[in-house]
Amino acid sequence: MSKEKSAKSEGLQEDDLLNRIVRAWRILRTIPDAPKPEAQTRRCKTCKYWTKSGKSEPPGKEAGGYCQSEKITEDYTGKHEADMLVYPYTENGSFWTGPEFGCVHHDQP
């Protein structure tokens, strides 16, 4: 077999394998009990640090809430760790998020 035919044959095998993988992935996506990726389950609405506000903000939108995690702070003079969000102004405010927002500090109640 010539080098050209061999290269085409290998390319076809790779394409066939890729097509099989894509088909399997599409099938797995349709299974209702398939586990969700971890990132999909780490939403504010299921986090112990999040408190629903009970009102729409802005009006007409789904009600959000406030994050009380010590990893998200406006205390610029406090500790600064690699995994924190620090708002560098002290305005005595809170961090409002929508229920579908999420972060790496998600923790189950």
Q: Could you tell me the pTM of the whole model?
A: 0.54
**Gap between the Cα atoms of 9 and 66, Å rounded:** 58
Take residue 54 and report the two structure tokens written for it.
């009970």
Give residue 95's pLDDT.
Answer: 83
* Nearest by Cα to 63 from 73, 51, 72: 51
Give residue 48's pLDDT.
Answer: 92
Take residue 79 and report the two structure tokens written for it.
């500790």
| SS3 at position 9 | helix
**Gap between the Cα atoms of 87 and 80, Å rounded:** 11
Per-residue model confidence as pLDDT tens for the chain (109 residues)? 555 555 455 555 777 888 888 888 777 777 666 555 665 678 888 899 998 887 666 666 667 888 888 888 887 677 788 888 888 777 777 788 888 888 888 887 6
